[in-house]
A and B are shown apart, each in its own frame.
Chain A
Amino acid sequence: MITYLLFLGTLAGIYAILALGLVVSWGQAGMVNLGLAGFFGLGAYASAILSGAGVPIGLAWCLATLLSAAAGIAFCLLTRTLRGDYLAIVTLGFAEGLRLVETNERWLTGGSDGISGIRAPLKSLLPDAFPSLYLAVTWAVVAVAVVLLARLLRSPFGRALRAVRDDEQVAAVAGKSVMRLKCQAFGIGAALFGIAGAVYAHFTSYIAPDNFGVQITIYIFLAATAGGYSRLVGAVAGALAVMTILEASRLAATAIPGLDAVEIAALREFAIAVALILIIQWRPDGMFRMTNQRAGTRPVARPVAADVHS
């Protein structure tokens, strides 16, 4: 049971990293990225292949993150004339295209058999403590990402990004480099998807193209939407909520007599779909609403009233 919970906790951490990436590129910069599974897979394969070739795991993670970020920036430049739904469709196509590459370039990726026996840090040294250690490593990545992003999004950079999200023309007239900001936000998102992939690959020690399909994209959109799509805390809370829904529906389904494994799996997808519909209907803002930078002139904003009106 403990092993099972540690496994779920680690997976939830990986979902949280992915949801953080979505909050930056979608919630803060307004670019819907339905291709996050593609970047997730890119990071996973890059780190697995590099560490398989003898590169130290830590370095492989960094390289996978950088590769994913570079792919994100290149993608953003290529699609610079697209916006909204059109961009979303192309990102979806990107992820599917990458999955085809993973399936067909057998010399590099092992095709549909995937890559197995991916090395994991410390596993051979401390086989018993590995699950809890890896949980800690995963959530340390989440924590570092949250701290850095919170700083960044509070700064003038974050404000300019949100202006681009709401109205690109207003942001441009305000003197902001719209293209640069979009590429940076998309690149940060892709970097987070990439590092999540790397963490995932070394956790499960086996990856295959099926792990990086549309399903994971839907889970992460649900996580970001449930938590509040512009909020970092929302990404983390949403990831935990999605994991809870997934596992609760599994347990609930086993309680229903006469269902086989395939039917149980289908019920879980159904639970996710229902959850997404309910949230969009009843609480489209999610658990944590959007916040704004306060002017700081009101007594409510500060315990000691700094009245500038006098």
Chain B
Amino acid sequence: MSTSAPLLEVHDLRISFGGVHALDGASFAVMPGATTGLIGPNGAGKTTVFNRVSGLLGTGSGRVTFAGRDITRQRPEQISRAGLVRSFQLARGCEQMTVFEHLMLYGPRQPGEGLLRGLRSGPAVRRQEEALRERALAMARRLRLSEVLDNLVVKLSGGQKKLLEIGRVLLAEPKMILLDEPMAGVNPSLVQEIADHLVAIRQSGITILLIEHEMELIERLCDDVVVMAAGRFLTRGSFAEVSANRQVQESYLGLRRQ
């Protein structure tokens, strides 16, 4: 790990839903350029951290800073525009929109989304739309989605939905991405394909925070692993370090004595 400042810092997040402490003082940091795994048993609060960091959950206490800016109280669209973009675990999408429209939707800084400039649809807007279209088509080729560009997302296979999740997040030109189980429920050969994409994304300089249950993938992909249990930070380190940690083993196996 380098000695530079962390890109994302999560400090003492606490959220409870009706008496259940979903997050109970979660703190960790993510270094720029690294792929960090976020692991922990079911119910550890991993997805809740994502929801809180990405602004979809605006409640609770604690602090989140991204690239030196406090984003704790910012709205999801502000956080995405700042360069921190998330994917969804269940590969959510706009059910009446196509793959192509999803890719186009994520294009950043589109002046044509303004009411008056959209109405005018002048040369500048049309040029940007064409440039965005080229990027969307290139992304579709890279993810092998070219054949299904005009399909509605509800007609895609589970694996194609996962690929589209990654593609649209990348179209937003992020500094950092939050990936929530990008390989869950897809066939083994596609898992390898997605893993290769993640390696390529890392090499392009994008920081990744990855929730994943498959430990082989965590070992292969992650420079650094953060372990959560019961809504808190448990430990962090290389994969070898955390997998040798007795506390981590106990939290997964549920043997921890009170």
Contacts and interface: CB of A to CB of B under 8 A. Distances in A.
Interface of A: 148, 151-152, 154-160, 162-163, 165-167, 169-178, 181, 184, 290, 292-298, 301, 308-309
A144 to B, nearest CB: 12
Given A162-B94, A165-B94, 6 more contacts: A162-B97, A163-B105, A166-B93, A167-B94, A184-B115, A295-B140
Contact of A295 (B108, B110, B150, B152): B150
Contacts of A174: 77, 80, 105-106, 168, 172
B250 interface: no
B100 interface: yes
Q: Which of A172, A184, A294 has the most CB of B within 10 A?
A: A172
Interface in B29-78: 54-56, 75-77
Contacts of B129: 156
B137 A293 contact: no
B92 A169 contact: yes
Contact of B108 (A148, A158, A175): A175
Interface stretch (B7-15, B118-126, B197-205): B118-126
B104 interface: yes
Interface string B125-158: 1000100010011001100001001101000000
Contacts of B108: 175
A160 B96 CA distance: 13
Contacts of B125: 155-156
Nearest to A176: B77
Contacts of A148: 119
A173 B105 contact: no
Contacts of B55: 172
A151 B119 contact: yes
Nearest to B79: A173
B172 A158 contact: no
B82 to A, nearest CB: 9
B257 to A, nearest CB: 40
A172 B56 contact: yes
B85 interface: yes
Q: Which of B76, B81, B104, B137 has the most CB of A within 10 A?
A: B76
A157 B118 contact: yes
A73 B137 CA distance: 37
Nearest to B119: A152
Given A157-B114, A175-B108, A170 B96 contact: no
Contacts of B118: 151-152, 155-158
6 contacts: A156-B125, A157-B113, A162-B101, A172-B77, A174-B168, A295-B98
B94 A178 contact: no
A277 B121 CA distance: 39
Contacts of B112: 155-157
B86 interface: yes
Nearest to A188: B115
A240 B72 CA distance: 52
Contacts of A298: 150
Contacts of A157: 112-115, 117-119
Nearest to A166: B94
Contacts of B115: 152, 157, 184
A159 B56 contact: no
Contact of B104 (A151, A159, A297): A159
Contacts of A309: 141, 146
B75 A172 contact: yes
Contacts of A156: 104, 107, 110, 112-113, 118, 125, 129
B216 interface: no
B56 A173 contact: yes
A170 B102 CA distance: 10
B101 A293 contact: yes
Contacts of B100: 292-295
Nearest to A162: B97
Nearest to B100: A295
A172 B114 CA distance: 15
B119 A155 contact: yes
Contacts of A294: 100, 150
Contacts of B56: 169, 172-173
B149 A297 contact: yes
Contacts of A158: 118
B150 A175 contact: no
Contacts of B95: 166-167
Contacts of A171: 94, 105
Nearest to B169: A173
A175 B149 contact: no
B223 to A, nearest CB: 25
A239 B137 CA distance: 39
4 closest cross-chain pairs (CB), A and B: A157-B118, A166-B94, A156-B112, A155-B118
A4 to B, nearest CB: 38
Q: Which of B55, B97, B125, B146 has the most CB of A within 10 A?
A: B97
